[in-house]
Chains A and B, each alone.
Chain A
Amino acid sequence: GEDVEQSLFLSVREGDSSVINCTYTDSSSTYLYWYKQEPGAGLQLLTYIFSNMDMKQDQRLTVLLNKKDKHLSLRIADTQTGDSAIYFCAEIPLTKMLYGGGKLIFGQGTTLQVKP
């Protein structure tokens, strides 16, 4: 089946690291994604990881993938107040891919609150 699960809320202090976790069920997904949504805005693609990778680092962001456990995490180093947002984990199962587009399966979103 298709299901992506995330915890709903995370609160951290400015300067700390944040770790947002996600589990997914469809092992056919080739890529897994993290999107960020700031209040009143659309979603912004933060990063993605190919399913044959274990880790991807991009500046303050580190994505870890445990394919055996179907577990994905996003670590934000030195979290800033500007990182306060909702973070969505997402996948596209092979059955949902089209040549010109596809159906992303989103998690419920984790609200990250960064306290000064």
Chain B
Amino acid sequence: DTEVTQTPKHLVMGMTNKKSLKCEQHMGHRAMYWYKQKAKKPPELMFVYSYEKLSINESVPSRFSPECPNSSLLNLHLHALQPEDSALYLCASSHGRRTGELFFGEGSRLTVL
């Protein structure tokens, strides 16, 4: 199994809603990532979890809250988002020793109304 699975594929939410994005991998990878990607732009790193601990937070607003319940799962909790947060949210994972070889999911397309 060499897949990173993200759900939902599409999400539309209002600015007062609370929702979550989910990510799962069964490759035994110990690093998991959240990226945000706007159209025609490179992905921007948001968070990195290493061995289930938050190791990088790229000064992301608190309306985005990551959670790593175990080594296979990664969540991104969303609350009080703004329309400019509309983007493709990509989850990725990597083996501990090969840090640039990321396996990406297909992404969750988020629209904030």
Residues of A at the B interface (CB closer than 8 Å) are 31, 33, 35, 40-45, 48, 86, 88, 90-92, 97-104, 106-109, 111
A90 to B92, CA, bound (A): 15
Contact A104 B96 (CB under 8 A): no
Residues of B within 8 A of A88 (CB): 42
With A100-B30, A101-B49, A109-B42 known, 20 other A-B pairs at CB within 8 A are A42-B4, A42-B92, A42-B104, A42-B105, A42-B106, A43-B43, A45-B101, A45-B103, A48-B100, A48-B101, A99-B96, A100-B50, A100-B99, A101-B30, A101-B31, A101-B33, A101-B94, A102-B31, A102-B94, A111-B40
Query: Which residues of B line the A interface, CB within 8 A?
Result: 4, 30-33, 40-43, 45, 48-51, 55-56, 58, 90, 92, 94, 96-97, 99-107
Q: Which residue of A lies closest to B94 (CB)?
A: A101
Taking CB as reference atom, which chain A residue is nearest B44?
A106
Given A98-B50, A101-B48, A109-B41, does the pair A43, B102 have CB atoms closer than 8 Å?
yes
Supposing A100-B55, A101-B50, A101-B56 touch, asked if A45 and B102 sit within 8 A by C-beta, the answer is yes
Chain B residues in 8 Å Cβ range of A106: 42-43
Taking a contact as CB atoms under 8 Å apart, the answer to whether A104 and B105 are in contact is: no
Given contacts A41-B107, A42-B104, A42-B107, contact A101 B99 (CB under 8 A): yes
Cβ contacts under 8 Å, B51 to chain A: 100
Out of A91, A99, A104, name the residue touching B102 (CB < 8 Å).
Answer: A104
